[in-house]
Amino acid sequence: MQVWPGQAYPLGATYDGAGTNFAVFSETADRIELCLLHDDGSETAVELRESDAFVLHAYLPGVMPGQRYGFRVHGPYDPAQGHRCNSAKLLLDPYARAVSGRIDWGEEVYGYRFGAPDKRNDLDSAPHMMTSVVVNPYFDWGDDRPPRTPYNETVLYEAHVKGLTMQHPDLPEELRGTYAALAHPAVIDHLSQLGVTALELMPVHQFVNDHRLVDMGLNNYWGYNTIGFFAPHNAYASWGDRGEQVLEFKQAVKALHEAGIEVILDVVYNHTAEGNHLGPTLSYKGLDNASYYRLTDDPRYYMDTTGTGNSLLMRSPHVLQMIMDSLRHWVTDMHVDGFRFDLAATLARQFHEVDRLSSFFDLVQQDPVVSQVKLIAEPWDVGEGGYQVGNFPPLWTEWNGMYRDTVRDMWRGEPRTLAEFASRLTGSSDLYQDDGRRPLASINFTTCHDGFTLHDLVSYNDKRNDANGEDNQDGESHNRSWNCGAEGETDDPDVLELRARQMRNFIATLMLSQGVPMLSHGDEFARTQGGNNNAYCQDNEIAWVRWPEGGSTQLEFTRAMAWLRRDHPVFRRRRFFHGRPVEGTHDELSDIAWFTPEGEEMTQEDWDASQARALTVFLNGNAISEPGTRGERIADDSFLLMFNASAEPLEFVIPVNHGRQWQVVVDTARAEGVPPDTGPKAGAGERLTLADRSLTVLQRPA
């Protein structure tokens, strides 16, 4: 076999039409063998003799796409010093563009002997390992263009590739649960009709099913267990795993873009699937353990701010390079439109504390590719000081956990919630205004993959996670949920009607709030997980979306609320409210005003009242201060939002001097939620009765 020196960059396996360049980093290795794997189980080893700045490399003419490969690292095995090299372990390429196969769990894939963690394990892992694959980078993107939907026009939809499509009745069975299913018209049409502009996919980086879960007969369904940051997960391909998954993912992105839908990836750069000191040796641990991971003062052990056993070393230039290379790869080669960063606070831990001035943020800020896509932080981790909602740099948006908690508290009737609810409804200026960010920094959600579904939020006071095999000890115990009078499934018509009304309240509040709304897949038709609020290991009907047969009133209501938001810029302002008239608009009314149910302007005493659970909000459509896309001044209809989160019906007085004639356009007390076009009309000073736990929206033409 011919072996040429090759190049140290780019890292990974790079096919150029005539052969493949291989490059891998290790500062610890004495030498590294590239192993080309054959279908008969044999392998051809090629030593990487060229080295530049600790990157070992070679070019192999004639090595073509589809070739499986791995690395064997010869070097120190000394856990007490943080070194875990072991040439008996076939290692995945950290930069692999595709991964083939799965792990056959056994002692062979561990670097140590079971029962003797400091004793090197010389059992060969190759027959039990996944393998890296050489990929042809070419793909005919045609005239594909990123939709680049502005944040103020964005509606996010969080979904799981398999869970969303596995039970869709209009999909061919061979496509269900795959990337190809995302590209199917049945799925795209549903998203388009729902008003979705961005599909936020739960992890699609190559991940691993944990040894513990496999032994229990379960799977790591959610996928927050990454082993390959450049490779699409092979199990989501409808055919083949030797590069076919890359092609299929690209085809899905292209189809979604044609429908105007962006693709955002949930990415897990905070840890890997190799776990703690008792975890397997799959890639990074065997290449250069101390360069990739945060180790404690005793280098045998791993610093863990993620709850998964390890954390990547965010002050290592090679880790930072890998993350940035990965992000650019997914934008430039795979055409994705943004990222949601799981446990993003860990990415800011350059040393110990979360630091918004960390190198990672600097690198993102200056990167001409990554800085131009949507960047969404899950602004917390499990380490000390890890809750960082509102503290990310101005380029970033954040999952607003405070929004979720406050809206849940409001609708379940918690005292002293009204003032904070008003802040969350109007874009959380207390969190984002001081550093120059806008309401669009707030990704608003009431449910997501982690926790109760919307149906279960109004049906269970307590989690039911027994199927996870952890004695119901896993998952959040404080869910801020309320079962509406009966725990779990019931035939009581009054309870069912109240639950349906509460779900409409949550959906309407989400779409009427300033910021960026995010729906969780299946909530638009009230999917349930039977009270399981931590379905991370349930790759089955517990977690898969059950598509309703025929129509769904909740689906129709969700669509109506999404389109109401789309049609009226007053609900999706790019700037915070001022609480005063806007200059140049010739409108003496404030851009926003707050009223008691009696129609009087709210006082501080009203805000502070512990039992206050109702208010009216006036949104002045004539006082939108920002210009339109062509520089024109935006004007819109005006709206009154009436919230009654109390347990009793309440009379609301329509405020005087804010418009003579109003029409009801949303009433969550109605089963359909949206009145006909000829909905009730009401004038200034008139009284409307709102049912208990309901909201009403009234509209006044501009």
Q: Which one of 93, 378, 420, 524 is the catalytic residue?
A: 378
**Burial environment of residue 645 by CB neighbours within 10 A (0 to 12, 13 to 18, 19 or more):** buried
Please tell me the distance from the alpha carbon of residue 591 to that of residue 169, in angstroms, as a whole number. Answer: 47
Specify which residues 177 forms β-bridges with.
Answer: none
Please tell me the distance from the alpha carbon of residue 411 to that of residue 638, in angstroms, as a whole number. Answer: 24
What angle is formed at CA 526 by the lines to CA 523 and CA 530, rounded to 5 degrees?
105
Q: Is 267 helix (H, G, I), strand (E, B) or coil?
A: strand
Instruction: Please confirm, yes or no, whether 605 is among the known catalytic residues.
Output: no
Report which of 656, 675, 654, 657 is spatially closest to residue 665, judged by C-alpha positions: 675
Report which of 655, 656, 619, 658 is spatially closest to residue 636, judged by C-alpha positions: 619
Please tell me the distance from the alpha carbon of residue 515 to that of residue 424, in angstroms, as a whole number. Answer: 9
CB 569 within 8 A of CB 670: no
Instruction: Please confirm, yes or no, whether 342 is among the known catalytic residues.
Output: yes
Question: Residues 6 or more apart from 641 whose CB is under 8 A from it?
Answer: 512, 616, 617, 619, 695, 696, 697
Q: Is 457 helix (H, G, I), strand (E, B) or coil?
A: helix
Please tell me the distance from the alpha carbon of residue 257 to that of residue 268, in angstroms, as a whole number. Answer: 24
Please tell me the distance from the alpha carbon of residue 616 to that of residue 422, in angstroms, as a whole number. Answer: 10
Give the strands of the sheet with 638-644, arranged side by side: 592-595, 614-619, 638-644, 694-700, 661-667, 681-683
Token digits for 1?
């076999």
Q: Is 438 helix (H, G, I), strand (E, B) or coil?
A: coil
CB 636 within 8 A of CB 568: yes
Please tell me the distance from the alpha carbon of residue 521 to that of residue 545, in angstroms, as a whole number. Answer: 7
> In what helix (H) or strand (E) does residue 158 lie, and over which residues does it extend?
strand 156-159
Q: Is 266 helix (H, G, I), strand (E, B) or coil?
A: strand
Contacts 24+ apart (CB under 8 A), 479-482: 479/451, 479/452, 479/533, 480/405, 480/408, 480/409, 480/412, 480/414, 481/408, 481/412, 481/452, 481/456, 481/457, 482/411, 482/412, 482/413, 482/458
First-to-last alpha carbon distance for the chain, in angstroms, is 76
- Sequence letter at residue 399: W
Q: Are strands 694-700 and 687-690 parallel, antiparallel or unpaired?
A: unpaired
Please tell me the distance from the alpha carbon of residue 668 to that of residue 68, in angstroms, as a whole number. Answer: 57
CB 339 within 8 A of CB 265: yes
- Sequence letter at residue 244: E
Q: Which one of 342, 381, 398, 667 is the catalytic residue?
A: 342
Q: CB count, 10 Å around CB of 152?
A: 18
- SS3 letters for 374-422? EEEECCCCCCCCCCCCCCCCCCCEEECHHHHHHHHHHHCCCCCCHHHHH
The count of C-alpha atoms lying within 13 angstroms of the C-alpha of 545, restricted to the half-sphere facing its C-beta, is 26
Q: Is 106 helix (H, G, I), strand (E, B) or coil?
A: coil
Question: Residues 6 or more apart from 436 whose CB is under 8 A from it?
Answer: 394
Q: Is 456 helix (H, G, I), strand (E, B) or coil?
A: helix
Please tell me the distance from the alpha carbon of residue 91 to that of residue 51, in angstroms, as a whole number. Answer: 19
Residues in the chain: 702
What are the backbone dihedrals phi and psi of residue 492, each rounded to the nearest 5 degrees, phi first? Answer: -65, 115
Please tell me the distance from the alpha carbon of residue 24 to that of residue 32, in angstroms, as a whole number. Answer: 9
What angle is formed at CA 176 by the lines to CA 145 and CA 240, rounded to 5 degrees?
75
Which residues are known catalytic residues?
342, 378
